[in-house]
Amino acid sequence: MDLGDQFKRLEPAMVHKVWGGTKMAALKGLPKSQDGREPLGETWEISIHGDGPSLYQNKFLSEFITPEEMPYLVKLIDTSDNLSVQVHPGDEFAKSHENSLGKTECWIILGAKEGAGIYLGMKPGVTSEEFEKAIRNGEEMNKFLTFYPVKRGDFFFVPAGTIHAIASDVFLAEVQQSSGITYRVWDWNRVDSSGNSRELHIDKAMQVIKFGDEWNNSEIFKIKNDIFKIGCTQIVSHPQFNLKQVSFKSGEEIEIETLGLNRAVGILNLEGSLSIDGEVLKPYQAAVQNLKAKKKILVQGQEAGSFLLVE
């Protein structure tokens, strides 16, 4: 099938999680409680991944776009509780152990309660030996991680091999490699209604976690603040995704030149209303164009706002 060369609005895959919040259900016009399921934790807005492909005209986006054309995935995440302390493997380990891409990701903070934040990277001087010993002894593992309070407009890059956990009361957009490989290290001693804990993946995690201060610092994490600035701003570039932030005024037309990477270009609108190729995107709606050649994109801001562009 051919998606064509115009932007097409997508419907997201809904992913329910024990730590999910209520914000996205409200944004999507869904009931807070859905047939006794866990809260809505993630919406996979631009995805061809088998665990949560987004939809175009009630068909999976993966029917129109190949993995080579879309090696990235774009999510919204809303937390009412802490996510597990976890790590993702790099490409080489993921290919040999999981037959998958690795998972480097980045976060754009869209909102957070006062004092809320993220755990990202090891504190200075933490060794693999003391970390693994603490895991095996059932200790609280967040004590080894650096905590960053967050606010709207903050940006964090999370390379594969970085230990991390998104804490409670945070709303963010995540752009990542198209991979679902996660190794849980610790889950805050949570149990389900039957008293069971979620599976941990300690052995594999210990093989991929990057210890050492050279891998756990603000430069590696490319931390930025107040990224929502008028105009088009390059945020980060990775072999599988290039991310720009675009903020616009009401009635403004913005022309964006793509990189000509022969892969799909995705837009996730965050605020205001915009029009592109006849598609109107309201806040937290996404669209994709399966570009085959370098060309320019013309976006018209109907109301002042901002969006993410991924290619």
The total number of structural domains that make up the chain? 2
Question: Is there a single domain that holds both residue 33 and residue 117?
Answer: yes
**Is 306 domain-assigned?**
yes
CATH code for the domain in which residue 239 is found: 2.60.120.10
**Is 224 domain-assigned?**
no
The per-residue pLDDT for 48 is 98
The per-residue pLDDT for 264 is 93
Q: What percentage of the chain reaches a pLDDT higher than 70?
A: 97
Compute the C-alpha angle 76/79/84, nearest 5°. Answer: 105
pLDDT digits (tens, 9 = 90+) for 185-211: 999 999 877 888 889 999 999 999 999
Helix, strand, coil shares of the chain, percent, nearest 5, are 15, 40, 45
Distance CA 146, CA 111 (A): 20
**Is 220 domain-assigned?**
no
**Is 3 domain-assigned?**
no
Which domain does 178 fall in, by range? 8-215
Question: Is there a single domain that holds both residue 79 and residue 38?
Answer: yes
Name the pTM for this structure.
0.95
Q: Which residues are catalytic?
A: 184
User: CA 281 → CA 73, 238, 290, 301, distances in Å?
Assistant: 19, 26, 17, 10
The per-residue pLDDT for 156 is 98
Question: Is there a single domain that holds both residue 90 and residue 18?
Answer: yes
Question: Is there a single domain that holds both residue 61 and residue 113?
Answer: yes
Question: Is there a single domain that holds both residue 97 and residue 191?
Answer: yes
Question: Is there a single domain that holds both residue 71 and residue 117?
Answer: yes
**Is 222 domain-assigned?**
no
What band does 118 get if pLDDT is binned at 50, 70 and 90?
A: very high
Dihedral pair phi/psi, residue 53, rounded to 5°? -70, 135
Instruction: Please compute the mean of the pLDDT values over residues 292-304 and round it to a whole number.
Output: 84
